[in-house]
Structures are given as structure tokens and as C-alpha cells.
């Protein structure tokens, strides 16, 4: 199947060709025809499957077939500024010949500049919920003409506490609107959100909680005190052309940043303590190849669309199995090859059991050839007897629960 079979507006067909897309992905094949009919859609699809184009292409076609209104005619809500910027950038690229105006509205940027942009007019507004509600309360825009609303990464928005903002925003849109909800997972909270705001939605489900087929996953067991040296050894491999390294905390991200800089590596960091301008600079350096390594917290786990990431490395194992899937989905995007490496200490084994249970498979374990795993544990890294007993009880309890589930 090709995009030409969707029979969208000629200017959008040119945009698809300019972007180099040839064949639609499964989520696009399922969602685009339904969206072109004006149906409400409740979709489950992980990041990296092409879902952004799945809602942008049909929505922009419908906008080009309708009359302009007073204010934005399409609103896309996203959980993070990075994702909002990515979606807005894709919309700009797609609409290059379509004369549709796109505005990205997010926190951390001057509100006056955004207000000026909104007053000049925008057909499509891509926004984080909190900042868009702020503009609505300041009367910088109205949503009376919004005929299409998209809730992207809905599960993440609910996790971040945006439900009241979403509720307040949708209350200011017309009741007769087309609403599309996309989520990587479908917990009861997201299902309830869809039931409240969507009218007779069509259910679309693609690759739920599964890594890309072309992605090779590997676990690297390692003593806790050797994690940083092992990471340096892994990054030194010739196959690592660009690596996204995930840590559990901002503090660990900063420590790794300093360590890798001391090793002479071209590296940047991305986490919540950075200003918006610094975060954009870090992303641009990574995209442009000026930085071979990007160290990030979960703020970058969803929504980033960066071509050519050869490796995702979980320096810290995430607490939730779904977060593991979202992280490793940053590589092997749209059927490209990629590697996902995870550093695993003995304390991480219960978390790995949960991840393997979700995946329904056992992940390969390897050792880095030539790495000295026998370096003794320094005194500072030895836990107290009380802490050791507490950790043993916690680990055993968690492991027992997950073994019972897999029987």
C-alpha cells in the first residue's frame, strides 16, 4: 500500500514525498482512513510506529477541505515540550505547501511571544496542557473553532497529573468535534478518559507494549560499583555511532555527564533541571552528530523522534516495565536496526523479571569481552548489614510475586 491510496489533498501528497515517506506503517494504514471519515479514534500504539503522521495527515486534509474559523481549528495536546515541538515540526514540514499555520505552545518559553503568535493566527496549535490553559485563561485565544482535537501520549499526560487541565481545555471546544486519543498503554484511567470525551470511537491497536522487531536487546550483568567503567567500555565500541543513555535520576545524569566528558567523549545531558534553551541545544547537538552520546532521564523516553540512534543504553533499569519499552523504542525506529543494552546489578533482578514477563520472553545476557569484572568492591560501596538484610527481603518478596505470576 502507498500513501497515494488515501487520496489526500495534493499539497499534502507533495509534503509526504518531500519527507521521504513511501509506504504507511500499520498504525497509519488503520487510523488514516478512519480519521478521514471524521471518526473518533481510540488508539494504542507505542512510540516509533508513525502515529504522529497517522493523525496529522488526515486532520490536515480535513482542515484544507473546510473554511477558516476565528482561532485554531485543530488542537494537539502533548505531555512534554519536547514532544510538542516534535509534533509541531512534523506539521510544519508536512504543510510546507499547504499554507496551514502551526503554533507550538509550551512552558519554559516567553509567554508574550507565544501570545503574539496566537494573535497573528494559527490553524493548528500543538501544546502542553498547562501552558495552553494559561493562554486560555489570559484570553490569548479561543477554541470555539476547534473541530479536531488530538490527545497524544494520553497515559503520560495522566501520569503527570494533567487530567484537570485537559478537562478544562476540552470544555472550551465545540461538542461537535472529532477527537483522537493516542496512548502507548491503555490502563483504566486512559480508557475512562476516552469514554468521557470520545463519541462512539473506533478502537485501533498496534504493537502494544512491544519493542520494534528489528531491535536487539541485551542485558549486561555487572556489580554496582563497576557500572560506570562498564558503560565507558560499552560506549568505546565501534558499533556505537550514537547512544541515548538513560539514568534514573537527574543527579546520576550529571555525574555520568562529567565522567564521560573526562573520558574525552562528545556528550550532552537532558533532564528537568535544564532550561528550555539548554534542552533544545542538547537535542540539536545530538541530532546534528556534534554529540555522540546523550544522557537523559525519563523526560526523553517518549516523543523524541531522532533518526539514526544506534544504541539505547539503560544505565539504570526503570521501575516500570512499560518505561523500559518506551526507552528502548528510541532506536530501531520505523523498522531500522538498533541495539538496546541494559546494565543489570543484583538489585535489579526483580525489575528485569517484570520486564521479561511483560515482553513474554527472556532477554539475552552477555559480558563485555576484555572487561575486568573482578575489581573488588570499595569500602564506600559496601552496604551496612542492616541495609543488606532489608534489600534481601525486598528482593525476595518481589521475585516471589513475579514467579507466581508466570506459573
Q: Give me the pLDDT at residue 108, please.
A: 85
141 and 230 co-located in one domain: no
272 plus 197 within the same structural domain: no
Mean pLDDT check: name the lowest of 64-78, 292-306, 314-328: 292-306
- The reported pTM is 0.64
Q: Looking at residue 332, what is its pLDDT? A: 65
Q: Would you call 45 helix, strand, or coil by DSSP?
A: strand
- Residue at 407 is within a domain: no
User: Looking at the predicted structure, is the pLDDT value of residue 48 above 90?
Assistant: no
The answer to whether 182 and 154 have CB atoms below 8 angstroms apart is yes
261-276 pLDDT, tens digit each: 999 999 999 887 887 7
DSSP 282-346: HHHHHHTTS-SEEEE-GGGSSS---TT--EEEESS--SSHHHHHHHHTTSSGGG--EEEEEEE-G
Q: Do 237 and 170 lie in a common domain? A: no
Q: Where does a domain end: 175, 206, 237?
A: 206
For residues 325 and 179, membership in a common domain is answered with no
Q: Which domain holds residue 115?
A: 3-206
Q: What is the pLDDT of residue 294?
A: 95
- With 60 as the cut, is the pLDDT of residue 295 above it? yes
* Apex 293 CA angle, 92 and 365, nearest 5: 115
Q: Is 354 exposed, middle or buried (0-12, 13-18, 19+ CB in 10 A)?
A: buried
405 domain residue, yes or no: no
Is 247 a domain residue?
yes
- For residue 405, what pLDDT band results from cuts at 50, 70 and 90? very low
Closest Cα to residue 183, out of 209, 146, 160? 209
% of residues, the chain, pLDDT over 70: 87
Give dist(CA 184, CA 169) in Å, integer.
22
For the chain, the domain total comes to 2
Res. 32 pLDDT band, cuts 50 70 90: very high
pLDDT score for 54 = 94
Residues 225 and 81 in one domain: no
What integer pLDDT is reported at residue 379 of this predicted model? Answer: 66
Please say if the pLDDT value at position 406 is more than 50.
no
Q: Write the CB contacts of 323 (distance below 8 Å, at least 6 apart in sequence).
A: 298, 301
pLDDT for position 1 = 66
Q: Are residues 224 and 184 in the same domain?
A: no
Q: Are residues 112 and 165 in the same domain?
A: yes
**What's the CATH number where 393 sits?**
3.40.50.300
**pLDDT for the residue 209:** 54
Backbone angles phi, psi at 22, to 5 degrees: -115, -55
Whether residues 161 and 232 share a domain: the answer is no
167 closest CA partner among 130, 135, 114, 122: 130
- Pair (94, 142) in one structural domain: yes
Amino acid at each position: 500500500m502507498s500513501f497515494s491510496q488515501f487520496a489526500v489533498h495534493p499539497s499534502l501528497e507533495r509534503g509526504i514525498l518531500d519527507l521521504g515517506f513511501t509506504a504507511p506503517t500499520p498504525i497509519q494504514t488503520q487510523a488514516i482512513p478512519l480519521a478521514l471519515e471524521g471518526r473518533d479514534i481510540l488508539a494504542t500504539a507505542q512510540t516509533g510506529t508513525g502515529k504522529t503522521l497517522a493523525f496529522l495527515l488526515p486532520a490536515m486534509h480535513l482542515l484544507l477541505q473546510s473554511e477558516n474559523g476565528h482561532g485554531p481549528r485543530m488542537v494537539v495536546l502533548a505531555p512534554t515540550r519536547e514532544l510538542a515541538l516534535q509534533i509541531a515540526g512534523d506539521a510544519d514540514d508536512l504543510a510546507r505547501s499547504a499554507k496551514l499555520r502551526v503554533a507550538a505552545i509550551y512552558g519554559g518559553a516567553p509567554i508574550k511571544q507565544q501570545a503574539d503568535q496566537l494573535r497573528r493566527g494559527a490553524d493548528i496549535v500543538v501544546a502542553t496542557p498547562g501552558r495552553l490553559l494559561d493562554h486560555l485563561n489570559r484570553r490569548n485565544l479561543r477554541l470555539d473553532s476547534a473541530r479536531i482535537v488530538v490527545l497524544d501520549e494520553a497515559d503520560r499526560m495522566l501520569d503527570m497529573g494533567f487530567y484537570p487541565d485537559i478537562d478544562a481545555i476540552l470544555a472550551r471546544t465545540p461538542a461537535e468535534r472529532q477527537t483522537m486519543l493516542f496512548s502507548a498503554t491503555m490502563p483504566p484511567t486512559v480508557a475512562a478518559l476516552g469514554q468521557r470525551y470520545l463519541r462512539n470511537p473506533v478502537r485501533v491497536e498496534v504493537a502494544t507494549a512491544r519493542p520494534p522487531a528489528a531491535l536487539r536487546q541485551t542485558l549486561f550483568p555487572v556489580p554496582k560499583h563497576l557500572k560506570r567503567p562498564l558503560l565507558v567500555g560499552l560506549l568505546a565500541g565501534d558499533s556505537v555511532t550514537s547512544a541515548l543513555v538513560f539514568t534514573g535520576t537527574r543527579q546520576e545524569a550529571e555525574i555520568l555527564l562529567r565522567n564521560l566528558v573526562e573520558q574525552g567523549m562528545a556528550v550532552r545531558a537532558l533532564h528537568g533541571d535544564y532550561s528550555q534553551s539548554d534542552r533544545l541545544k542538547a537535542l540539536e547537538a545530538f541530532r546534528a552528530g556534534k554529540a555522540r552520546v546523550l544522557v537523559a532521564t525519563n523526560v526523553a523516553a517518549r516523543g523524541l523522534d531522532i533518526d539514526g540512534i544506534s544504541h539505547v543504553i539503560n544505565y539504570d533499569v526503570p521501575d516500570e516495565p512499560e518505561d523500559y519499552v518506551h526507552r528502548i523504542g528510541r532506536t530501531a525506529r520505523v523498522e531500522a536496526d538498533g541495539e538496546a543494552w541494559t546494565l543489570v546489578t543484583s538489585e535489579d533482578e526483580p525489575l528485569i523479571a517484570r520486564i521479561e514477563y511483560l515482553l513474554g520472553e527472556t532477554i539475552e545476557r552477555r559480558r563485555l569481552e576484555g572487561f575486568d569484572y573482578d575489581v573488588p568492591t570499595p569500602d564506600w560501596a559496601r552496604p551496612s548489614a542492616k541495609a543488606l538484610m532489608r534489600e534481601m527481603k525486598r528482593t525476595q518478596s518481589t521475585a516471589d510475586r513475579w514467579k507466581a505470576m508466570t506459573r
